């Protein structure tokens, strides 16, 4: 079968995840074990690779029982309560919170403290229960309202001042629609552009990449919020888009002779995984 195969040059780990993985690997060069509070990346294949090096994933309830050890805080960030727990338990923290997320946490905290005396409210557009969102809600002592869609924006109390923020990895177009609705209900609402620039640019480039190939293989862990958003984007412009986690899930019936195959992924997808798919497809073309 004759296939033209290309890896999306913009796909792969975002800067925040690259930094977190590098710090974990650096520590594990000199230690047989490192605890990570939550999955360092929402990608099963990459997690298995890191576990073989000594990374162990803990929940917050596990950390409550841990004393005088070392924990890694992943790029998603954590609420202030986690750092307070670490201090109480004598834990050293390797803080890998993405600088973009850290800046957003600080802005949410400052805005909440400013609006609170006048009865204002902080609203976060994001996935309920997501690690980054939990960290943002923690900046408001749990008072922020989380909405996941334009429809859920109707639950905002528009009789009170509103400040709207977005989880950094959300779809920019969807956030724009939510922001427009909020402004239509309360014109003086504060709306902050807090989607990561790297993520926003990837949305734009991925549309072009998906349109310019006859088949798209989107590689991502199933738990990745960013993966769900980006795959839906690919599928919206190219019906022959397929979501997979590894090469074993490829079905040769997806391809036709002469197809241009594009391989891309989420911000939680490592380059090595995209290259693995590329090598597998090359073998198909030779068979």
| Residues with catalytic roles | 132
Q: In angstroms, rounded to a whole number, what is the distance separating the alpha carbons of residues 74 and 204?
A: 26
**Could you tell me the CA-to-CA distances from 276 to 55, 81, 263, 281 in Å, in that order?**
23, 40, 10, 9
**E strand map for the chain:** 4-7, 34-37, 55-58, 70-73, 92-95, 121-125, 145-147, 162-166, 190-191, 215-219, 241-244, 260-265
Residue 5 DSSP class? E
To which residue do tokens 């803080």 refer? Answer: 95
- Quote the radius of gyration of the chain (alpha carbons, Å): 21
Tokens describing residue 53:
């090096």
Q: In angstroms, rounded to a whole number, what is the distance separating the alpha carbons of residues 132 and 113?
A: 20
């Amino acid at each position: 079968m004759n296939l033209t195969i290309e890896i999306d040059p913009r796909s792969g780990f975002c800067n925040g995840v690259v930094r977190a993985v590098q710090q974990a690997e650096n520590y594990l060069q000199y230690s047989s074990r490192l605890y990570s509070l939550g999955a360092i990346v929402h990608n099963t294949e990459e997690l298995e690779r890191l576990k073989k090096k000594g990374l162990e994933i803990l929940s917050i309830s596990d950390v409550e029982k841990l004393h005088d050890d070392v924990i890694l805080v992943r790029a998603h960030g954590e609420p202030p309560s986690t750092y307070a727990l670490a201090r109480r338990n004598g834990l050293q923290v390797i803080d890998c919170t993405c600088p973009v997320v850290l800046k957003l946490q600080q802005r949410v905290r400052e805005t909440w403290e400013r609006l609170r005396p006048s009865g204002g409210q902080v609203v976060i557009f994001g996935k309920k229960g997501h690690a980054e969102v939990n960290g943002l809600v923690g900046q408001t002592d749990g008072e922020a309202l989380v909405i996941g869609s334009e429809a859920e924006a109707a639950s905002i109390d528009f009789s009170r001042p509103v400040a709207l923020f977005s989880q950094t990895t959300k779809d920019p177009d969807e956030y724009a629609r939510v922001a427009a609705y909020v402004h239509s209900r309360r014109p003086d609402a504060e709306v902050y552009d807090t989607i990561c620039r790297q993520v926003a640019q990837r949305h734009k480039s991925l549309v072009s990449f998906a349109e310019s190939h006859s088949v798209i293989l989107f590689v991502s862990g199933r738990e990745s919020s960013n993966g769900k958003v980006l795959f839906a984007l690919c599928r919206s412009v190219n019906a022959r888009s397929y979501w997979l986690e590894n090469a074993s899930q490829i079905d040769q019936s997806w391809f036709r002779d002469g197809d241009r195959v594009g391989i891309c992924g989420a911000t939680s997808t490592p380059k090595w995984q995209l290259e693995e798919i590329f090598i597998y497809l090359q073998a198909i073309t030779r068979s």
